A and B are shown apart, each in its own frame.
Chain A
Amino acid sequence: MKTKVNLPIRSLIFPFVLLGLAELGCDGSQAEKTSKKEAAQTPRAGATKPHDSTKAAADDQGTAADPHAHHRHHAGLQIPAEAPLSGASLFHVESTFTTQAGKDLQLKELGGKPSVVAMVYTHCEHACPMIVADMKAIEKGLSDEQRRGVHFVLASIDPERDTVERLSAFAKQASLDASHWTLLRAEAGTVRELAAVLGVKYRPEPPSDFAHSNLLTVLDADGVIVHRQEGLGSDPKDSISALLKQLGAKRERVSPE
């Protein structure tokens, strides 16, 4: 049976291969691999593509050419969910995190305020307390009012041990004001993803430690990276001025009440 039908297939497909090459500009042996529905769709989708791609290209250019495009929805008081988001925004990450209060959180919920983000683990004895201290130094450089306009975010690279309870206890122990400090945990794949968008590198160092980048990232109110502070014990002034710039920009955009 198998050997009988094999030959007809080849001869049936062969003309398609030629036509496929001529019409689709792609290798005709695709017919063997794609399902008939998809293969039939391919030329059609390809044909309608100029429309789609110009639209996509226009969208792309829109955000690239107009750096303020992604700010408009704030001024217009639109709900950000429907507004076009900059392609560079971390808010495109749709994975769910859990806060130290046990609440689900998606990154886009940090929108509307600039954020300072770092990845740590609470069992860390050396670098992480210093990262938290560096973030606190930034916090200290802001006025009370400015502080309330900023998210300070610590995301754990150690989801196994950093439970909600542990994060909550850590926040208390380190006197992190819950009104503007958010501690996050997530499943391992989501942690990798967050590290990837931030450019943080980390790996477990058995038995109980992690090696990791010491990196603070400042995001604008739309989740776009605007500043990075590398290394431990760095002068916080650049991060502070990056935040002030964001806070100032936001004030300009929002009309006074």
Chain B
Amino acid sequence: MHQGASPSTKRLIPSLRLPCALSVLVVCQLLVALALATTTKRTQPTPGRMVRVAGGTFVPLYGTRDKPESVRPFLLDALPVTNGDYLRFLLKNQRFLRGKLPRVFADEDYLRHFEQPLRLGPNAPVDAPLTHVSWFAARAYCRAEGKRLPSMLEWEFAARAGKDVADATSFPEFTQKILDWYGKPSKLPLPSVTTLEANYWGISGMHGVIWEWVEDFNSVLLTGASRKDASGTDNELFCAAGSLGSIDPADYATFLRYAMRASTSATYAGQTMGFRCAKDAPLPKKQKNKT
């Protein structure tokens, strides 16, 4: 069984110099484990794995009323970006380390749950969704992966899917579940992404654990700055806000997400903010795309 590790184990017992021997053991085992792991790569959950979301049309909450918006097919990460994923990014992009990233790109909560700038620690399990990340940092991560943040429209479209259907927003139990989560904060530390339920598209954890950044989060105008805006956008929003009691609970859950985006700054790195990346889908030429 332990062929790969036995030489170092033998050395370990007589020497009794634990710290030194342990690190030798670690390195040996790691080398062997990884050599073997590469041969079985396909059986492991792949970080950054993307699934295709066939486009479609839907009427977003704050779109032009009664006019469905169309969403082109796109690829979306099956899992939220994890602490471990982000640590790998930090190793190659050290200007994004906590303490080094300029304030203009992230507030003081940025990666607050990491034990050290380059060490996860107990509050940041390697497989748990990354939180405490600003919009700028999320965007830079996706860019480094050759991806981008999903647009709000794309995210909302994918988030309508239930376990077995592409659009579950008419099922009361689906929306109730989301609202229940909004009503109570997630337990920390967050669970492993592998435990999150996948929806119809094969996308896990869109609801129930974290809020997620979208590219155009700052496209929701809700208050203040545009009070005197000639476009009359605010009236539309206030109408929606005022009629919450009478509208569909599905819209209420969506409303909360929009309200959160409207009140969020791009530097916000709170403990509920995470993200996943997206990509344009390859043009459909009757070839089955392999991601």
User: Could you list which residues of chain A lie within 8 angstroms of chain B, going by C-beta atoms?
Assistant: 1-2, 5-9, 11-13, 15-16, 19-20, 23-27, 29-36, 38-42, 45-46, 49, 52-53, 56-57, 59-60, 85, 87-90, 92-93, 126-127, 130, 189, 192-193, 195-197, 199-203, 205-206, 209-215, 230-233
Pick the most buried of B37, B67, B227: most chain A CB atoms within 10 A of its CB: B37
User: Could you list which residues of chain B lie within 8 angstroms of chain A, going by C-beta atoms?
Assistant: 1-5, 22-23, 25-27, 29-34, 36-37, 39-40, 42-44, 47, 64, 67, 82, 84-85, 87-88, 91, 97, 99-100, 102-105, 115-122, 124-127, 135-136, 139, 148, 215-216, 218-221, 224-231, 233, 262, 265-266
Q: Are A38 and B230 in contact (CB under 8 A)?
A: no
Q: Are B97 and A127 in contact (CB under 8 A)?
A: no
- In order of increasing CB-CB distance, the 9 nearest A-B pairs are A126-B230, A203-B219, A56-B99, A196-B266, A87-B103, A213-B225, A46-B119, A26-B120, A211-B233
Q: List 22 A-B contacts (CB under 8 A).
A: A8-B36, A11-B1, A15-B25, A16-B30, A26-B120, A27-B120, A32-B37, A33-B47, A34-B88, A36-B31, A36-B34, A39-B30, A42-B91, A45-B91, A56-B117, A88-B103, A192-B216, A200-B225, A201-B220, A202-B218, A206-B67, A211-B221
Q: In the bound complex, how far is the Cα of B218 from the Cα of A15, in angstroms?
A: 47
Shortest Cβ distance from residue B36 to the other chain A in the assembled complex, whole angstroms: 5
Interface of A is mostly: helix
Q: In the bound complex, how far is the Cα of B43 from the Cα of A118, in angstroms?
A: 52
Q: Known contacts A33-B84, A126-B231: does B116 contact A53 (CB below 8 Å)? A: yes
Q: In the bound complex, how far is the Cα of B151 from the Cα of A203, in angstroms?
A: 12
Q: Are A42 and B119 in contact (CB under 8 A)?
A: yes
Q: Are A87 and B104 in contact (CB under 8 A)?
A: yes
Q: Are B229 and A13 in contact (CB under 8 A)?
A: no
From B4, B26, B104, B135, A92 is in contact (CB under 8 Å) with B104
Q: Are B43 and A200 in contact (CB under 8 A)?
A: no
Q: Are A15 and B1 in contact (CB under 8 A)?
A: no
Q: In the bound complex, how far is the Cα of B225 from the Cα of A211, in angstroms?
A: 11
Q: Are B43 and A2 in contact (CB under 8 A)?
A: yes
On chain A, the residues within 8 Å of B227 by CB distance are 231
Q: In the bound complex, how far is the Cα of B33 from the Cα of A126, in angstroms?
A: 65
| Chain B residue nearest to A1 in the complex (CB) | B39
Q: Are A203 and B43 in contact (CB under 8 A)?
A: no
Q: Are B44 and A32 in contact (CB under 8 A)?
A: yes
Q: Are B231 and A209 in contact (CB under 8 A)?
A: yes
A200-B218, A201-B219, A202-B221 provided; 20 other pairs, C-beta below 8 A? A2-B40, A8-B2, A12-B4, A12-B36, A16-B33, A25-B115, A25-B122, A29-B126, A31-B33, A32-B44, A33-B85, A33-B127, A45-B91, A46-B119, A87-B103, A189-B148, A201-B221, A201-B262, A212-B229, A230-B224
